Structure 1
């Protein structure tokens, strides 16, 4: 065997997973075949009294199935055949007449957890890298190797639904609390603690966690189960668009199989899994997963990684950035105008840790330790030891340049100066710096504690060393950075603002706020354009729109209603509880002040026109980003729009969406809209070329590569 090691000592078999040429163990076809042979050997050896399943990897038990193998399969029949074989092999573990123990140290995900569930007992180490989860829903399917059948029996129906429908991680303590594992201890105690546990197993003295009484009710009464299923469905509907089928199908599978014979249930699970895994939605989700992996490794490790950072600016973005660096770095310093501000700033940063305390992923003592890393100064010369200084002040070129001048006077020659500008040219901002090679843009997205994406924008002078150091820093802080070219708005805001602007034009033409928001939310976006404008801040949106208008001219003219809402009504959105909606009560109401500015002549818009105008204008701008070499890969644009704006991942991103619609169709519709609404819909040169040569964003690489 190449990937498994079978050892038998004192009649105890240990089967150790150690996937060759890999840092992670995965249940590939080859590994499953070896597992099948090893289990046959164990079954035939009547001297063996127990089996322990272990891993030789330092921080991974089994990371799950080999996703690349699932991605490569295109038909339901092919997937069903392989899943059925996998089920037969894992079922052999459960069918062994000897007791079986999974020793889980490190990540135990997806198929790895399903394998562990086949064992009679599970031990998890208390190491911080030990996490148990069913993350399959994030790939467009659900556990397909018995997870929907075994988990409800082990941890109860409600807990199993939560695990499977959300994909959340469980550490060892939480896993023990819910009955997912039978014992936890430090990996350093393995030698004697495992022997102790094995003795209890052989003496039949392991005490199982008793499930709450409600689980008995659910076993016995269909009405109780029906209520649980109803609440689970409502929970999904609040968060997940109906077009994304994975959690809905998973719920249906559990609902249709709970309490049924295992053989029937496992087959229903396999068939439903196969249907989902063959869809383009699932393929898109897998692509996104691999893009995350690729980008998170896209740097060279340095000997002296950045460990101390200074932040200028303490607005919403500034506080989010301070929170991020306090969580991951050893030293974070903030530059403030007045020392008296410090207490309120740190209090607001502390609030961003509240969710970690509620989830029990951090204790109050741990949070206090993180906050104690924050120091502050009201003088620039108090930042002299900083490796990287990040400016996150107002979106104003003059103010930013003044801050850079002060920073360059006190920082070391190797220190990096960065700006969190969301739209201003990096070349412009760095034009007066002496040490231009150490200057670049680092554009975070709001809220910083949630959004994974960061745009890194070098100028023509920025050194590769500076870019690499910043990528390493951000990746170590749990972010996924992409490097993009310098232009107004960069990638995300350049593509997103025309969408918001177009929604405003449609509003002025006679539609209404709630209708537009609902149609685009139903399309799959996390919120409608007007809710988004209120959330981001109308002032910020208007400022960025103005910069884009200045840079790109009349094709990015600002919709008049946006100007009126910001300049005449002085509305800011959620931050002052008045925007396109009113936020002073629980019931979200449209702001009458806005509707009074609109024409009383209502126009009937069909759903198709609203979606196409808002989406195709983004497709057009995305194609210009490729055309200009701002990025050289449409997959980067797709990744950016999914992770930076919430574009539905199961649609693959804005370029993948255009491919699915058909480039010729997109170009034809843009031309129709151009005749009615003018140059903002004029198809880009790249789209025209793709259309002429019958190519798309997947096949037309030679048309934009620079």
Structure 2
């Protein structure tokens, strides 16, 4: 026991052993090979010691156990057989806890997530603090995995199949009260209570040491007989599988595998069920989709959210009052997220009425939450108090940062910049929420271009996590560093983008939309385009999203771009015809690529087949590849030209800003997901068939040649 440094161990006068998780050199208790080996070694010592009458598992940190070490999983370099053996050893240790004949209590403070939850589930009794930040749950699906230390099988035996599938696939986190109601914990205490004393008292007064599933008469809730023979249960799992496929289109192995583990595990004794789970977990861990999801979501998005891209050497800037100019949907959304983050906001528009309308938007969003029991009237009132509607520039004078969110018109934006700079203080950063106009161009209207920066939010602002931080030619590093601090303060994820028309996301997403429209004009049925887009993992089809953006706005943006390719000029002319000849402009007007009848579901306009006669020889695979390859190739051009600084920024931006399928890892990772050589061959095929836009830049060809059968961008 001399080498133990992550688990503290003591025995009190009543013979109760206390195992306290306190992982060294980490702000949270995290489960890895070393910590888990120490934990099992220590608890085995307590089990084997005749003087020990019961065991309490606790934490010295503010959380119980936050979960497994995802970096370890991402870089896991052992064989599938070794991985399976490791999981089965873990299960053996956890089963020993359950069957040791001594009562074992989990004293849960703070977070007990993923593997931390699984450790708690193997205990005979669970007490949980009802601190507002305390949560318990199996959240592995959020990073492309699923529980591999018995979580699926213990949840199943405690909650039944329906809740188990719901909670695990949705990575649901439960409060102490919710967990108590569901039976995941047995008792709840206040943060002020001595939770270890309560655990000891239960051992001394009531302590039992048998899990329900070790009783011979136990049966899985909802499965009265053999699960494979019970039609109702089989039908339920069939529906669950169908629903999962409808949502994931088979792109996410972890969802398919977790459903299989739950289904087949339900018919087995717990020991066999744990083996079933382990086999499906191994299959999941070694899939390229899971590696991509872990890398993108846990490493790159997490790093971006923590501001790892911030220029070095600058202290953190604290913002207190933000000015937002323009109270339309974007401006109101920006004001909303600032107020939610605790910042004061001046929401200015040309009239007080328009500014009040922006505040009413915030109130309406909060009202929806109130109706669903997610907030209170007092909280709404406190939030709204932070937003000051205004029609006066002078109210912006004491703001720490000003964000312009007016209509996408260069002259209007320049006028607003000049008027605002007359009243704000000299050192205040001025940001534009433009989505297409180059920041350096807009900065020409500023008297302090070094303090001018782009902050491109996405709609709806309160739901979309990404913010593009756009650096103009004269934007200083000090301004950039402060802008990163601000984005983190409002709980958004920043990526740094260098200046250029359309920046990164708008430019790349334009390729997705353009390709969808191009295929429509070629005679690919619009329903095929839209359905294939969802099948490959995009959240919305290119035609539907065009209607959301508005075809007239798209035409205006293209008309202002002096560098359109021949293909884009052709598309611009197509848009003009659709708008001017056919009168189709988008969702707002009720008619775009879709019809939007009042109080009815939208449907694709039936006349498209007459305007662009359908072809019969299209290939669904090619339709999907064209949509994705168009974005990927243009993203690489952004990287190659310096618009994007690093491949991981493109991956983060594409997943959070474009909805690019996360199982591929993002736009840059997609090349390795397909296979670099195969990607090059398919691109050449598309270029020969459809044009230069699918041709790979020479520098990418060289990268692919150098990589050979290896990876182009990331080693793992």
Do the two structures share a fold, i.e. TM-score over 0.5?
Answer: yes
More moved, 218-227 vs 14-23: 218-227
Q: Which of these residues, 547, 552, 562, is aligned with residue 550 of structure 1?
A: 562
Quote how far apart the aligned CAs of 1:421 are. Answer: 0.8
2:662 maps to 1:649: yes
Secondary structure class of the residue paired with 2:378: helix
Q: Which of these residues, 146, 149, 153, is aligned with residue 149 of structure 1?
A: 153
Structure 1 residue aligned with 2:303 = 294
Distance 1:182 1:526, change over 3 A: same
Secondary structure class of the residue paired with 1:226: helix
Structure 2 residue aligned with 1:477 = 490
Structure 1 residue aligned with 2:234 = 226
Contact kept, 8 Å, 1:674 with 1:682, in 2: the verdict is yes
Map Cα deviations across residues 505-541 of structure 1 (whole Å, 9 max, x no partner): 1111111211111112111211211122223333444
Distance 1:48 1:672, change over 3 A: closer
Quote how far apart the aligned CAs of 1:224 are. Answer: 4.1
2:28 maps to 1:24: yes
Map Cα deviations across residues 633-667 of structure 1 (whole Å, 9 max, x no partner): 22221221111111111112222222343445444
Quote how far apart the aligned CAs of 1:625 are. Answer: 1.1
Distance 1:175 1:357, change over 3 A: farther
Q: Which of these residues, 53, 67, 70, is aligned with residue 67 of structure 1?
A: 70
Map Cα deviations across residues 369-393 of structure 1 (whole Å, 9 max, x no partner): 2122111110111111111111111
2:252 maps to 1:237: no
Q: Summarize the alignment of residues 613-632 of structure 1 with structure 2, pairs less than 5 Å apart.
A: 613-632=626-645
Structure 1 residue aligned with 2:527 = 514
Distance 1:529 1:47, change over 3 A: same
Q: Distance in 2 between matches of 1:354 and 1:224?
A: 39
2:45 maps to 1:41: yes
Quote how far apart the aligned CAs of 1:218 are. Answer: 4.4
Structure 1 residue aligned with 2:395 = 382
Contact kept, 8 Å, 2:159 with 2:221, in 1: the verdict is no
Structure 2 residue aligned with 1:50 = 54
Contact kept, 8 Å, 2:348 with 2:355, in 1: the verdict is no
Secondary structure class of the residue paired with 2:622: helix
Distance 1:698 1:410, change over 3 A: farther
Secondary structure class of the residue paired with 1:418: strand
2:165 maps to 1:161: yes
Map Cα deviations across residues 418-444 of structure 1 (whole Å, 9 max, x no partner): 111111101001112112222101111
Q: Distance in 2 between matches of 1:577 and 1:606?
A: 31
TM-score, reference length from structure 2:
0.90
Map Cα deviations across residues 256-286 of structure 1 (whole Å, 9 max, x no partner): 1125200110000000000110011111011
2:468 maps to 1:465: no
Structure 1: any 5+ residue segments left out of the alignment? Answer: 702-706
Contact kept, 8 Å, 1:420 with 1:441, in 2: the verdict is yes
Q: Summarize the alignment of residues 364-379 of structure 1 with structure 2, pairs less than 5 Å apart.
A: 364-379=377-392
Quote how far apart the aligned CAs of 1:158 are. Answer: 2.3
Q: Which of these residues, 283, 290, 309, is aligned with residue 291 of structure 2?
A: 283
Structure 2 residue aligned with 1:704 = none
Q: Distance in 2 between matches of 1:132 and 1:502?
A: 44
Quote how far apart the aligned CAs of 1:697 are. Answer: 9.9
2:689 maps to 1:685: no
More moved, 559-568 vs 688-697: 688-697
* Paired residues, number: 691
Map Cα deviations across residues 22-66 of structure 1 (whole Å, 9 max, x no partner): 1121111111111111112111223333322111222x2211112
Distance 1:359 1:243, change over 3 A: same
Q: Distance in 2 between matches of 1:588 and 1:661?
A: 34
Quote how far apart the aligned CAs of 1:671 are. Answer: 4.2
Quote how far apart the aligned CAs of 1:700 are. Answer: 6.9
Contact kept, 8 Å, 2:152 with 2:262, in 1: the verdict is yes
Secondary structure class of the residue paired with 2:445: coil
Q: Distance in 2 between matches of 1:22 and 1:357?
A: 38
Quote how far apart the aligned CAs of 1:295 are. Answer: 1.4
2:193 maps to 1:190: yes
Secondary structure class of the residue paired with 1:273: helix
Structure 2 residue aligned with 1:114 = 118
Q: CA RMSD in A?
A: 2.7
2:1 maps to 1:3: no
Secondary structure class of the residue paired with 2:389: strand
Structure 2: any 5+ residue segments left out of the alignment? Answer: 213-218
Q: Summarize the alignment of residues 585-596 of structure 1 with structure 2, pairs less than 5 Å apart.
A: 585-592=599-606, 594-596=608-610
Q: Distance in 2 between matches of 1:681 and 1:415?
A: 44
Q: Distance in 1 between matches of 2:588 and 2:34?
A: 55
Contact kept, 8 Å, 2:497 with 2:645, in 1: the verdict is no
Q: Which of these residues, 328, 338, 344, is aligned with residue 357 of structure 2?
A: 344
2:459 maps to 1:446: yes
Quote how far apart the aligned CAs of 1:123 are. Answer: 2.2
Structure 2 residue aligned with 1:269 = 277
Distance 1:163 1:692, change over 3 A: closer
TM-score, reference length from structure 1:
0.91
Structure 1 residue aligned with 2:215 = none
Secondary structure class of the residue paired with 2:148: coil
Quote how far apart the aligned CAs of 1:669 are. Answer: 4.2
Q: Distance in 2 between matches of 1:226 and 1:368?
A: 49
Secondary structure class of the residue paired with 1:341: helix
Q: Distance in 1 between matches of 2:557 and 2:17?
A: 64
More moved, 491-500 vs 343-352: 343-352
2:101 maps to 1:97: yes
